[in-house]
A and B are shown apart, each in its own frame.
Chain A
């Protein structure tokens, strides 16, 4: 029943609120995938460039897929809207100069400038094209990229993107956009082809927002296929020391001369108590996520207080996520 999320699908899309560490998780999975002999392609969407720092030693990542590691196993691209739109138009009209002239038409630019769904349409179409790319027979055939790891925008915009097929159908129940919408829906909604992974934190508000996001996506016909809970904090004080903390605190405050509030010991004990309290809330959020998403393949990644060192840490994090997620039964709720 266990499945390997990397091997079984070509397209993995990662979403979550800003700051949860999506990009790090995506980069980590790419490194782990390459280490397993796969051929991952990381797709970053335009406006924020963090993959360069994580995978390419700080070098900028361009629009065309290019190798970022020495062995040439990990490829990455930063999907540029303008370039993707141009490619799309070129595919239709075939002549470069005409495509350029069309894309540069002021009226068309203004039309598209005010219509956000154009960007999303171009993005999804490009992703669909990448998913469909096959290797030449002489290179062994099969998918060119395995897997494609897409670092989606923060959840609000991921929803716009994933909502697109439905919006297209509403806008034009019949016609080419509807056909495009159905094709994209077939890709995104098929768990055998695409997997949507939610990335969150063990904190009250991110947990609540993740629950709401999953519900909204499900309403739109898209099932989340995995959950990564990132930066899970370690207990401030080891569990084994908790009894000691308890009796020491009780004794300190019940001494004959009351412990002055500002004394170093009182301050230290209050500090520990505050940290314990905060950790308790994190544990509660973690419990809530585990319970709510019990049927979903899940990985929990521990906090790395000193930050993540791309060179040293990514592979370990990637392996951790894969190990966790692979040990869940492959159930995807519809």
Chain B
């Protein structure tokens, strides 16, 4: 395992894995969790993985919102780890997280009315929901519990920066000004009404909204907003606390990518966005970065041990063909490894020279905790 990653695991209370979709973030988060536990650190891995495979890999029937212990029996001994920490895993359920948030900060009657709101039902349950905000909510819970380390696998949002932006956007939306604007009631004097956007423009905009969306949708939206605005102080307190955790010194962001050009580019954009928001990634982890390959045979004049297996000239010729094929394969693999390494190093430099860790290509997705531990062990400094 890369020394840089080990250091992060030991020193941070919260590690956030961000990165483009499809690069193996969930597997990486799980592998880091197993590694941390083997280092003796009590860890919670909070994932976003709707498929069963991660649950299977962790030896669990299913992953749910409640943290479950991951069995590490036997693994610790194999890995030579003296006293493994506890490893728990939980999965983010978006709909449930929104409901939990509402229940936390709203009185029961208010919560019930919100749950009935058509707008809320649609927004919270479908893919339209802000996964990021729900993730942050769940994170708040996790940090409150007494755990040494939380590893957060971020949701595959359009823009992984949502995890930092969503609370602010939501709070801006839940604003008295928006509601009064929507309902066409200017508050106070003419000057403040004008400040709210100008009568003519505001009327035109509302007419447009009603024409495009329909009066009933606008009314639903108004009702939804009205219900939510009452909850604003609760949201604010929550959002501030979590923002502080994400930006504090105990939190480390790890950018996860793969060696594919497209993913490297996406990871670069993402990292730039993080920096713009005042967050500096502490490591870059590149998945599927290399296929382990032994070095080419030394040309010291000695007989090729492969060719030496031949018992007649015919066999020798045959083995010569095989040797050529092996060398061609090795050359391709080493060239691919070099390309991936260069690409990842260039990205690490763009990120301000962050430590780079390279994970190998796994022949198949890790199927169990031992495979996750193996993957972690095979991650090297880049």
Contact = CB atoms under 8 A, between A and B. Distances in A.
Contacts of B329: 236-237, 272, 275
A19 B204 contact: no
A77 B215 CA distance: 34
B128 A110 contact: no
A209 interface: yes
B326 A176 contact: no
Nearest to B294: A267
Interface in B116-144: 118-119, 122-123, 126-128, 130
A21 to B, nearest CB: 7
A177 B213 CA distance: 5
B178 A241 contact: no
Interface of chain A: mostly helix, strand, loop or mixed: helix
B169 A102 contact: no
Contacts of A271: 292-294, 326, 330
A159 B131 CA distance: 14
Interface string B277-299: 00000000000000111100100
Nearest to B215: A175
A238 B321 CA distance: 10
Contacts of A18: 20-23, 262-263, 266
B172 A176 contact: no
A205 B197 CA distance: 50
B380 to A, nearest CB: 17
Interface string B193-233: 00011100110110011011111110011000000000000
A170 B117 CA distance: 12
Interface residues of A, number: 74
B75 interface: no
B23 A172 contact: no
Contact of B216 (A89, A98, A175, A208): A175
Contact of A177 (B51, B178, B212): B212
Contacts of A105: 181, 197, 201-202, 205
Interface stretch (B59-67, B76-84, B85-93, B358-366): B358-366
B318 interface: yes
A305 interface: yes
A333 B358 CA distance: 42
Contact of B217 (A156, A171, A305): A171
A113 interface: yes
Contacts of B127: 156, 159-160, 163
B130 to A, nearest CB: 7
Given A107-B182, A154-B21, A245 B322 contact: yes
Interface of A: 17-21, 23, 47-48, 50, 89, 92-93, 98, 101-102, 105-108, 110-111, 113-117, 153-157, 159-160, 163, 167, 170-172, 174-178, 180, 204-206, 208-209, 212, 236-238, 241, 244-245, 248, 251-252, 263-265, 267-268, 271-272, 274-275, 277-278, 281, 305-307
Which 3 pairs from chain A and chain B are nearest by CB? Answer: A175-B214, A114-B173, A107-B181
Given A108-B209, A167-B126, A172-B217, 7 more contacts: A23-B262, A108-B205, A209-B51, A244-B319, A248-B306, A265-B305, A272-B326
